[in-house]
Amino acid sequence: MDGVLADFRSSYLRCKFQNPELEFPQSEIGFFRDLKPIESAINAVNQLRNLPQFNVYILTSPSTRNAHSYAEKRLWIEEYFDYKLTRKLIICREKDLIKGDCLIDDNTNGCGQDNFSGELLHFGSKEYPNWEAIMHYLKGQYGFGDGL
């Protein structure tokens, strides 16, 4: 979720600029709730949700520095998607415990991404810099209509 659907980095940097003494901006109540969507993320996920060959789940790691992150991430999903997708929200620190064909993540390790049993698409990398690239790849792999 963070760094793939929600723009964690911009909010983190803005908070650090405004409060340089704050070691962990993500520890602030409201941090996750107020994240802005990444460009094209909402449209792309909704498109995938409407295709029969995909069963979309949101997998996110909780912030160990902010107990409110669990609720805030859940509320964020409902605001930008709908209640139905909140039922497919998985909050888990060890992403390799989850089974799936594909994991779209902004990190390649740190939370079990490197041991994920399916394919890891590294969002923000040279190969997959944005949702347009992700959708282009998935279209080629799974053969569905026009991308974004």
Kindly indicate the confidence band of residue 146, based on its pLDDT and cuts at 50, 70 and 90. Answer: low
Stretch 27-53: mean pLDDT:
97
Tell me what pLDDT residue 145 has.
66
**Quick one: angle between helices 131-142 and 41-49, nearest 10?**
20
Q: Which residues on neighbouring strands pair with residue 59, listed in sequence order?
A: 90
Domains and CATH numbers, the chain: 8-142 (3.40.50.1000)
* 41-74: pLDDT as tens digits: 999 999 999 999 999 999 999 999 999 999 999 9
Calculate the CA 10 to chain-centre distance: 14
- What gap in Å lies between CA 124 and CA 72, rounded to an integer? 24
Contact 36, 125 (CB under 8 A): no
Residue carrying structure tokens 């209509």: 145
**Token pair of 104 as six digits:** 């779209």
Round to whole Å and give the CA distance between 72 and 66: 10
> Given a cut of 60, is residue 147 above it in pLDDT?
no
Q: How confident is the model at residue 143 (pLDDT cuts 50, 70, 90)?
A: confident
Looking at every residue in the chain, the average pLDDT score rounds to: 95
Q: pLDDT of 77-103, one tens digit each? A: 999 999 999 999 999 999 999 999 999
Cβ neighbours of residue 48 under 8 Å, at least 6 residues apart?
Answer: 54, 56, 138
Question: What is the rounded CA–CA span in Å between residue 90 and residue 58?
Answer: 6
24 pLDDT exceeds 90? yes
Rounded to whole angstroms, how far apart are CA atoms 4 and 122?
A: 9
Select from 30, 135, 75 the least CA-distant residue to 58.
Answer: 75
pLDDT tens-digit map of 110-127 = 999 999 999 999 999 999
